[in-house]
Each structure stands twice: as C-alpha cells, then as structure tokens.
Structure 1
Amino acid sequence: MPEFPSAHRGVRAAGVPQSGAAIAQAALVVVAVLYFARDLLVPLALAVLLSFVLAPIARALRRVGIPRLAGVLAAVLAAVAVIGFLGLVMGRQLAELAGDIPIYQYELSRKFASLNASGGLLERAQEMLRGLAAGAERAAAPSPPPMIGGDAVRPLPVEVRMPDPKPFELLQSVLEPLLYPLATFGIVVVLVIFILLYREDLRDRVIRLVGAGDLHRTMAAMDDAAYRLSRFFLAQTAMNAAYGVFITIALMLIGVPQPMLWGIVAGLMRFVPFVGTIVAIAFPLLLALAVDPGWSIPLMVLVLFAISEGLMGQVFEPLVFGHSTGLSPIAVIAAATFWTWLWGPIGLLVAVPLTVCLVVLGRHVERFEFLEVALGDRPPLDPPETFYQRALAGDADALGEQAEVALREKRLSDYYDTVALPALALAQGDALRGSFAPERLAALRGCIGTLVEDLEEEAEDDLPPDSPIAEPDHADGPPAAKVAEPPESLVPPGSVICMAGRGPFDTAAAGILAQVLRKRGIGAVAAPVELVRGGDLTGIPAESVRQAWLCTLEGGASTAASRYLLRRLRRRFPEAKVAALVVGAGLDGRLPEALRGEGATAVEGRVADAARAAPRLAAPTVAAAK
C-alpha cells in the first residue's frame, strides 16, 4: 500500500479518553459492542469497504458528465451484477461438485490405498483411527436388554412418520435459510448507495467528531486518507479479480474440475492473510488427486499456485501497492484472529481491510497514534533509538547488523551522523541525569567501542561526494573511482589528533572522527583527554601533529571546561591547527561560539563536515601559543 504521510498528524479527536484506564475501558466497551451488535455492524462494515471500492468509479463517472445519482446507481448496480453473477456461478459449480463427490471419494480412497501397499505410515494411521472408532462404538453401544423368566425382553420397533409438508411449509423451508443473507445483502446495497450519495455530509460529521478546531489539517487528513484507501481497495480488488481469472484459466487448461469455482475462491482468499493461500490450494489439489490416476496434475497444481503466489506477493502487489499493506505480520495474524472471533467468516474476509483503516486513522489522528504503533509496519523506534536500545542491552551483534544494513545505502560518516552520534546524545542525556550505574556506563562504552572497532575492518572507504574519477589504466578498461588524495602533510600516522573532551561519551566521538579521517587517507589518531597534560603519544612527536581536533558532545562538559581543553591543545601542539567537532549543538550555539573565541580555526557539528574541513585546514601555518 502506498505510504500514508504523517504530515497531518496532530489532529486531536474530540471526546477521546485521555488516561490509560479510560482508554482501556473504552476499548472493552468497543469490543463488546462489536461482538453483540455484529448483526448491525457487519452490513455497515461491508458497506463502508464496498463504498471505498466504488468511490473512484463513481467519481470517474461524475467527471465524464454523468449526474451523481445516475453514476452512483450505475456503479452500485454494476457491483451487484458482478456479485450476483459470481454467486450464480459458484452455486452451479457447487451443485456439479456435489453430484460428483462419490466418484471423487472413490478415486481418492483408491489412490491412498495404493500408498499403503508396503504397510507404511498411512496404513498404521488408518488402523489406529479404526481402532479408536471401534472403541467409541463399543462405549456407545446400548446395555444388554433386561431378562424376564430367562427370556430377553425385546423392545417394540417404533417408526415415526412425518406428514407430507404442505406447499407453504416446503416454500418456507427453502426460503428461510436464504432470508438472512439476502436481507444482509440488501441492507449493504442500500447503505452503499447512501454513503456514496452523501459522502460529503458524512465527511463533515466525522470532521466535527475528530476535530473541528483545526479545520484545514483535519480536512487534508480526511481527504488524503479516504483517497488513498479508495485507491488501495480498488487496486486490491482488481488485482485479486485478475488473479482469480488467471487461476480459472490455468486450472481449466490443466484439467481440474469446476475451475471457475476454484478461481473465484482463490481470488477471495487473497483477502485472507496466510490461511487464504492454504484454502485456495487445498480443494483444487484434492480434486486433482481424484481425477488423475497418476501424479502429474497434482504436481502441476502445486507448481501453478507456488509460482502465482510468489509473483503476486513479491512482484505485482509491491509494484502496485508498495512493499506491503502497511501492517506488520504479527498485526495481520492478530487482526485475522480477532475479527474472525468477532464476526466469523465475514470477519476473516474483512480483517485486513478494516485493520488498514485503523492504521490510517492512527497516522492522521493524534489520540489514535497507538494504533499505528501497534499495528503498522513502520519501525517502532527511530534508528538512533534502536541503536541506543541495542547498546543498552549490550548486543554488539545487533549493532553490527544495524550498521551493515545502513551502510548499504549511506556512507560511513553519514551513518555516524544520523544514527550513532544522535544515539550517543541520548545516552549522554541519561548519564547526566544519573541514570547509569558505573558498571552499566562502562559496559555501554565498551559495546560502542566494539562496534567502532568492527567497522574499522568491515566498512568501505568513506568516499566523499565529489571524489574524482581516475582515468582507466587500459583503453578498454572502465574508469575506477578513487578517494580524493589528502594533502601530503596529513598522510603520516599521527599528523591529525582527535582528542576526546570530558563528557562521558566524548571518547567514542573522538574514535569515530579518527576512523572516518583514516578512511579518507588521513593519518588520524584518537587520543584521550589526558593527552593535554603531557601524556605519551606512543612515539609520535608533538611537532609532527598538523591538526588537533577537540571532539565533544553538547552538554557533556561545561563551556569553561571545553574552552580550557582547547587552550591546552594549542599549547600542547603549537604547530598544529586546532579545530572542534561539537555534536548535538547548532553552529551558532553558545559552545561553538566560545570555541571560536578561543581560536578554533573550524567548528563543525557533523563528522562528515569535519572530514571535509580537515584537508582545507592543511596549510602550514603556525598558531600563536597562548
């Protein structure tokens, strides 16, 4: 189904319960009403769904100049004619099938009996079932007749004869089972006509209920939801109808009896998630086993449904609707179970369409957002939140999988800027509030450090967007992309120092920047904050350092502490240009402005911007020491 944009979210519903307890009570009341008023609500739900299907057709007829009433009646009558034709075809095919059932039963028994020739599993299962049946018959057998004078008292046979039914009673016995379906169908038709004729009036009433305080956003949300649902349901109905026609033709060519019946069933079962496929395959497969003395027709039926279901689910439906119906797989199963329990087989057919309507409601009405979270297929957490949750759980493997998926579509620096560093900002906020025990904080840092180390080996070069294209080595060879060559002064290891600030996660930020710079061919090294106190650079002389970056997350340390560290960096590396990476703060914020005042030649807010700025700062100038 096409994505339903959330731009209109924030529409507040009038009269919606505010507290959790009130919402739970309202949910129980709604479920009770749905169950006990199903005789009234089932026709209404069917009418609403059918009106979504017919609304585009009625609008198209209106655009070609047909009056509204005539267009609505034409669309509804066409739908009634199609449904009636399908019903007549199914009834005729079922009557033919019922007459041939004894023949099919005999053929199936003979074929299964041939499988038992070697005393296999089927024979043992049949013997077990026969034994159980015999035991049940013995348990249900009547007790021996009583004895009088040595002779058994035998009951007198009694035969009950019903009088021949009168013509009116015979007519009543035939019509009574049909009255309820016909009455329901008539109510649905009438409701569809009135919904299509008065849809603007109904929309205005719904707007009044949902939220008339923000009329523009409410109108836009209602129109967008109704339009997209109409397109979706009409496209789904057309796709399922085409699928049914294809199955009918294929089964006819294969030689399966009653192909039109099974084509209609296959098209209807496309509305039923998971179970519908099994039902659509089972009956044609049984008939194929009955009519074919061998196994070629059953195998062709299996291949037919395997290929057609695969093409529908993986090619045609994603092409027409998008990647899915907008529902999570668990929500589809839960919805099918819930609506079947409420409304029986009709509920199973309308489960997915009704649940899609609920998800659309949750995407457009603020108070029903929980419906989208519970039933929709969008990730419940944003990527930074997912990163933080996995890191809190200590699941380094899950962090690696998330990074692997993200790096298929974006560069390493973009992944850090959009996922990892915002997650570190979330973690730092919790750390500053005192939410972490020391051992938990150490474990979180270790998990993030493990991820950075893994990406050092697995991630590709961090190609900048404007990397040049090298000329081919041979005339017939393709050109190959190469990383933009960094300045020679920044190539030796240790020529760029990325020093962590005093925040709880600044060490991770320094390691990330150093890794991205190394991926671009720059000899960057991450260093702890103790470096400014004269710590060892593991054999790297201070005079060889050309750039020194202070890496910090906004809020991790005070502005005064960051200014002090920047001054110490300038004294520690007098021949290096000093810059800063401040994550989570706008470039016009208080901390970036203070660092500029301390002589930082560049202050960047993203890793990608810092990696682009590093080559530009490579001019050999000596900063004045303070």
Structure 2
Amino acid sequence: MLAVVIVVAALYFARKVFVPLALALLFSFLLGPLVIHLRRWHFGRLHSVLVVVVLSFSLVGAIGALMFFQTADVIRKLPQYQENIHKKLLSFHIGQEGKFSRINRTIAEFQKDITPPPGIQPQQPQPAGTQKPVPVEIKGGTLSPVEVIQKIMGSLLGIAINAFVVVFFVIFMLMEREDMRDRLIRMIGTGKLNTTTQLLDDAGQRVSRYLRVQLMVNATYGILAGIGLYFIGIPNALLWGLLAGIFRYIPYAGIWVAVTMPFALGLAVDPGWTKPLLTIGLFGALELTVANLLEPWLYGTSTGITPLAVLFAAVFWTWLWGPVGLLLSTPLTVCLVTMGRYIPALSFINILLGDEPVLSPPARFYQRLLAMDQEEAAEISEQYLKEKSLAELYDDMVIPALTLAEADRQRGALDDLKHRQIVQTVRFLVDDLADYSQEVKERFESEHACGSALPADHHGAETVINAFPVLCVPARNEADEIAATMLSQLLDERGIPVKVVPASAFISEKADLIKNEKANVVCISAVAPSRSLHARHLLKRLATDLPESRIIVGLWNEKQDAQEIRRRFPAVSPDNIVTSLKLAVERILPLATTSAGPGYSSQIPNRTICLIELCLQCRIPLNPLKLFDCGM
C-alpha cells in the first residue's frame, strides 16, 4: 500500500515530466505500425520515423489551425444572433413580468416573512482609548493590454514547448524502439524473458489496436456529424464535426459536451425550434449506432477492461493530470491491466479492472447458492446453457458446485442445515431443466424422424427392438441422487428408459429393485469427494447379487489419478469407470441398445456405433428406437 501511495504521489508532483512522456508514448503506440510498414518497404529507420512524424503532426497542426479560424468566425458572427437569443429568452418568460421573476419575488417575500427583524442590541461600553477597527479592502486594478498579451503569450509558449518536447520524445521512442524494449527486459530480469516478452507484446498490441480503432471510429463520427449539421443548417458545421470527433475521446461525458455547442448555436440562429431538435436527434442517432453497432464490432476484446474500469480510470487520471489525464485514461489503464496479467504483484489491478471473469462458473454458481439467491443461480445456468449443452452445464458447473458444498461441509465451514438448503436448491434447478431436456427430445423427434426418408419395405419389417432400461443408483445421499437425475435426463434425451433409485433406500432394497426391473445396465452415482468407499461397497453387493448386469461406476468430478481409481475398483472394467456425465452417456448408450429378430445379430452393428458416436460428437440427441426403425 505504501508503494502505491509513493507512486501516485510521484505521478502527481512530477506531472510536468510524466505528462509529455505519456503523450509521447501514446503517439509512439499509434505511429509505430506505420513506421514498421515503411521499413518493410525498404525505407531506412530514420527516414521512416521522420516521414511518419512530420506527416502526422502536420495533420494535427492543420486541424488545429482550421479549428482556430472556424472558432474566430463563430465569435465574429455572434452579434448577428443576438436578436434570436433575445426572442428565445422572452419565449421562456424571463422578462420583468415573466414566470421566473414572479417565482423569485414570491420566494423573497416568503423569506422576509419567516425571518424575524433584527433586534436592537444594547451598546456595550467601550473601554477608554479603544476604537473599533475599520475594515480595509484592497482591490487589484484591471490588467493592462500589455499584461493580457503577456499572459496569453506565456500560455501559448508553454503549450508550444510541451508540444516540441512530445515530438522529440516520439521521434526518439520510434528510433530506439528495440533498444528500449531490450533495456526494459533487462531491468525486469532475463530469467523472466518469456513473461516479459508476452507482457510487452500484449500491451503493445492492445493499446495500438485500441488507438487505431478509436481514431477510425471518432473520425467517422466527426465526419458524419459535420455532414449532418451542414444539412441541418448549423453554421460552421466543420468546426462542430471536428470537435465532436475530438470530444469522443473523453469517456461517457465527451459526447454531451460536443452536442451542447451546436445545440446552443442552433438556438441562436433559428427563430424556431427545428434546428436545435434536429441537432439533438442527429447526435442521438449517431451515438446509438456507433456505441451499439460499430464499436462492439470493431473493438471486440481490444481493451480488456470493464466499462466501470473506464469510468474509474477517467476520474482517477483526471484528478491526477487534469484534462490530459482524461484523454490518456483508457490507454494507461489498459497498460496497467496488462501488466497485472503477467506480474503477480500487480494482479490485483487485473482483478479489479480487467474484463476477464474472476470466478470460475462453478464457483460463481456455488456463491449464488450460498447466498440463497435461487433466481440468479437459475439465470447463470440458463446463460451458460445458451452456449453449452446440458451435459456440459451439469459436468462443468452443477456437479462441481455440489462438490464444493460437500467439501465445505466436511471441513466444518458449512453446517448441515445450509448444506441441505443448497442441495434442495440444486434439485429444484435440475427439475426445472427437465422441461428443457424434454423440449430437446421432442424437437429432435419432430425434425429428425428418419422413417420418412427410407424405402417402404423398412416400415413393415417385423423386427423387435429392445432398449433395456437403465437404473441409476445413488451411492449414499441426496447429492448422489441429484447427479443420477441429471444422468437420467441426458439418457432420456436419447430415448433410453431410465429409472432413478431413491437415495434413502437400503442397499438390499436397491438390489431387489434392480432384480425386479430386470435392468441391463446399472450406473452407480457418486459425487466427489469421499464417495468412493460407499460406491465400492455398493458395487461389491451388486456384483454379487446381479452378475449378469452391466455396471457403470460414475465418480462425478473425481480428480484422482486414473490408475488409482482403477486400483480401488478392481471388480469393474476400467472402461466402465467414468468421471463425467458426458462420458457416462457415451458408455451407456451402446450397452443399453440391442436388437432381436430374424436376420439380426444380438450385437450392435459397427455402422450403428459409428452413427451413435457421430451424433454424440455433434451434440445431436439420438433415439435408438428411431435408429433401429430406420434399418440401421
């Protein structure tokens, strides 16, 4: 913290040095790609730098001169607009008998009524020889024309000196670009060569691209604004277009400053209200189009900072360096955030200001469960489901959240009551997602019914197709049962009949239920951590009582080594031990489908398995009944 205070204090008190240096660095980022392109065209280093710098600053000087003459022309024409301004003021009733004057008079009379008259204070006897001091006020005289000229010339001279300093800094930065990079790498340390190189490349690319895109966007905005103001009839439309493009460099507030001046001029030149209203409409349409369509398309992830960070940076750098800091706020913040990505000591800057998610999806989902915010937890899952499949939602977010809750409960950080509430909330969310699973299944059956695309003889084939039921057996508690419910939804999407055994049933009851259901495939559901013991005990019992059943062991979100897992479950084939719902579906689907009838083998044809694997890879729900009806 002390280091941060020292750095901020140094930036503030030495701003006369750091501001030109920062401006030069900004221009070097912007002009660096042009210099590189000229050097690729076999220009020398010095010639490339001089050509780019001279042309760039000549363009800046020409724009400045144009704005100066346009501003002088506006000042010269202001007396011509006096009559319209007076009529506008009269239209607001600000005359002697206007509404505002009557309001002011009423307020003054009310204050007079509620303020008691000052009482007569008795005179206190003054000691002999003392007198009341007489107040003396010293007023400075008005400045002479010579003093005014001296002040103006002093300000212009200071601006000119700073401009020359910036130009020379830019020239030397572009000339010594590689040498400065090497010195910075050496200062950080050659042992971190890879990290430093990534830092410099990332910061350079982000800032350079941001400045180029911002220049194109603001220039386009200024051109369109100038053309629109010209056709509206606002005088000196070129000046206001240039100012609109420049003020857009100021985050958020710049556009309002830009629209104020042509709006005020429209009030002055137009006897009515048409031109001012059209001016507001023009800037509003431009801002909506540029901010919502053009900027998101062009910027993309070029900055890497959040909108709140842009606003905070604007306030901080303006306080530190004034108006120049406001212009430099976003590029400087981008550099700091990029440094935070690669330098551990500055990682807090990336966490606070960067646009990367600071919490993983399961941690964020689990945090909302801890806060008992069921609505936002459902919103997070629905948002995730827009980009991912239901299996990925369960594997990547819901089951890891259950694992985190169980780990906290075992450490004592989560009491049993809160743990039960979290599990119940997850159950409600999973039950709600069952409707989504059913919609996927119905949509697939309606859009991918393959019987209509086959010859007529396939429809009358006397073939009995069996999709043997699958039983999902929780290893111990309700979290295991919820995971089994998730698996049943994913299998049901593919037309596999599934039944979930209640977690409250005893092991003997589970074995009897499996016998009665004549299940061909049994999946033991166990949510990590510390579920392996219960899953192994249940596996031994089922393997003894039901030797003909195919048993799949699902150790959801298990992070242990695969060999260690196989060592703990020697009674089951290694291929039948899965750690995600997606893998479980891929393994169960071939086991749960078979065919019987004349001319059919009891094994699934290879082309059918290939089709099943293809559908799984493409996230297409697959109904095995439809599959075999099509003659596969």
TM-score interval (norm. to shorter): 0.7 to 0.9
Aligned partner of residue 526 in structure 2, secondary structure: strand
Q: 1:189 to 1:599 in 2, by over 3 A?
A: closer
Give the corresponding residue for 1:607. 581
Deviations 1:164-199 (A, max 9, x none): 767xx6753441121221111111111111111111
Separation in 1, partners of 2:58, 2:84: 38
Separation in 1, partners of 2:77, 2:437: 65
Give the Å deviation of 1:86: 1.6
Aligned partner of residue 548 in structure 1, secondary structure: strand
8 Å contact 1:272–1:352 — kept in the other structure? Answer: no
Separation in 2, partners of 1:358, 1:133: 55
Aligned partner of residue 578 in structure 1, secondary structure: strand
Separation in 1, partners of 2:285, 2:98: 33
Give the alignment partner of residue 78 of structure 1, picking from 25, 47, 55: 55
Give the Å deviation of 1:59: 1.0
8 Å contact 1:262–1:280 — kept in the other structure? Answer: yes
Aligned partner of residue 279 in structure 2, secondary structure: helix
Give the Å deviation of 1:607: 0.7
Give the corresponding residue for 1:152. none
Give the corresponding residue for 1:544. 518
Aligned partner of residue 488 in structure 1, secondary structure: strand
8 Å contact 1:542–1:573 — kept in the other structure? Answer: no
> Structure 2: any 5+ residue segments left out of the alignment?
112-137, 455-463, 596-632
Give the corresponding residue for 1:457. 435
Separation in 2, partners of 1:489, 1:376: 51
Give the alignment partner of residue 93 of structure 1, picking from 60, 64, 70: 70
1:369 aligned to 2:347?
yes
Give the corresponding residue for 2:539. 566
Give the alignment partner of residue 227 of structure 1, picking from 189, 198, 205: 205
Aligned partner of residue 531 in structure 1, secondary structure: coil
Aligned partner of residue 414 in structure 2, secondary structure: coil
Separation in 2, partners of 1:418, 1:381: 13
Higher mean C-alpha displacement, 592-601 vs 329-338? 592-601
Give the Å deviation of 1:338: 0.8
Give the corresponding residue for 1:67. 44
Q: 1:542 to 1:75 in 2, by over 3 A?
A: same
Give the corresponding residue for 2:550. 577
Q: 1:174 to 1:599 in 2, by over 3 A?
A: closer
Give the alignment partner of residue 449 of structure 2, picking from 470, 475, 480: 470
Give the corresponding residue for 1:271. 249
Give the corresponding residue for 1:489. 467
Aligned partner of residue 208 in structure 1, secondary structure: helix
Higher helix share: 2
8 Å contact 1:500–1:527 — kept in the other structure? Answer: yes
Give the alignment partner of residue 358 of structure 1, picking from 313, 336, 353: 336
8 Å contact 1:500–1:510 — kept in the other structure? Answer: yes
Matches within 5 A, 1:181-220: 181-220=159-198
Give 1:27's aligned amino acid. Answer: V
Aligned partner of residue 522 in structure 1, secondary structure: coil
Percent of aligned positions with the same letter in both sequences? 35
Higher mean C-alpha displacement, 569-578 vs 35-44? 569-578
Separation in 1, partners of 2:414, 2:140: 83
Give the Å deviation of 1:572: 5.7
Give the corresponding residue for 1:149. none
Give 1:272's aligned amino acid. Answer: I
Aligned partner of residue 525 in structure 1, secondary structure: strand
Give 2:557's aligned amino acid. Answer: G
8 Å contact 1:498–1:526 — kept in the other structure? Answer: yes
Give the Å deviation of 1:591: 2.7
Give the alignment partner of residue 526 of structure 1, picking from 486, 500, 505: 500
Give the Å deviation of 1:272: 1.5
Matches within 5 A, 1:415-454: 415-454=393-432
1:347 aligned to 2:325?
yes
Separation in 1, partners of 2:329, 2:316: 8
Matches within 5 A, 1:374-385: 374-385=352-363
8 Å contact 1:390–1:396 — kept in the other structure? Answer: yes
Give the Å deviation of 1:474: 10
Q: 1:600 to 1:161 in 2, by over 3 A?
A: closer
Give the Å deviation of 1:457: 2.1
8 Å contact 1:412–1:462 — kept in the other structure? Answer: no
Give 1:52's aligned amino acid. Answer: F
Aligned partner of residue 190 in structure 2, secondary structure: coil
Q: TM-score, normalised by structure 1?
A: 0.80
1:247 aligned to 2:225?
yes
8 Å contact 1:499–1:549 — kept in the other structure? Answer: yes
8 Å contact 1:387–1:419 — kept in the other structure? Answer: yes
Aligned partner of residue 43 in structure 2, secondary structure: coil
The structure with higher relative contact order (CA 8 Å, sep 6+) is 1
Aligned partner of residue 505 in structure 2, secondary structure: helix
8 Å contact 1:532–1:565 — kept in the other structure? Answer: no
8 Å contact 2:471–2:514 — kept in the other structure? Answer: no
8 Å contact 1:518–1:524 — kept in the other structure? Answer: yes
Give the Å deviation of 1:511: 2.1
Separation in 2, partners of 1:389, 1:297: 53
Give 2:449's aligned amino acid. Answer: A
Give the Å deviation of 1:81: 0.9
Give the Å deviation of 1:353: 1.7
Give 1:254's aligned amino acid. Answer: I
Separation in 2, partners of 1:72, 1:231: 19
Separation in 2, partners of 1:505, 1:73: 70
Separation in 1, partners of 2:305, 2:514: 57
Separation in 2, partners of 1:329, 1:124: 43
Q: What root-mean-square deviation, in Å, do the aligned CA atoms of Structure 1 and Structure 2 show?
A: 3.6
8 Å contact 1:396–1:447 — kept in the other structure? Answer: yes
Deviations 1:54-85 (A, max 9, x none): 11111111111111111111111112111111
Q: 1:442 to 1:211 in 2, by over 3 A?
A: farther
Q: TM-score, normalised by structure 2?
A: 0.80
Q: 1:424 to 1:124 in 2, by over 3 A?
A: farther
Aligned partner of residue 293 in structure 1, secondary structure: coil
Aligned partner of residue 356 in structure 2, secondary structure: coil
Separation in 1, partners of 2:164, 2:69: 22
Q: 1:435 to 1:93 in 2, by over 3 A?
A: same
Give 2:474's aligned amino acid. Answer: A
Q: 1:417 to 1:190 in 2, by over 3 A?
A: same
Aligned partner of residue 377 in structure 1, secondary structure: coil
Give the alignment partner of residue 491 of structure 2, picking from 503, 517, 520: 517
Aligned partner of residue 238 in structure 2, secondary structure: helix
- How many residues matched? 558
Give the corresponding residue for 2:234. 256
Give 2:75's aligned amino acid. Answer: A
Separation in 1, partners of 2:208, 2:513: 70
Give the corresponding residue for 2:18. 41
Separation in 2, partners of 1:501, 1:536: 10
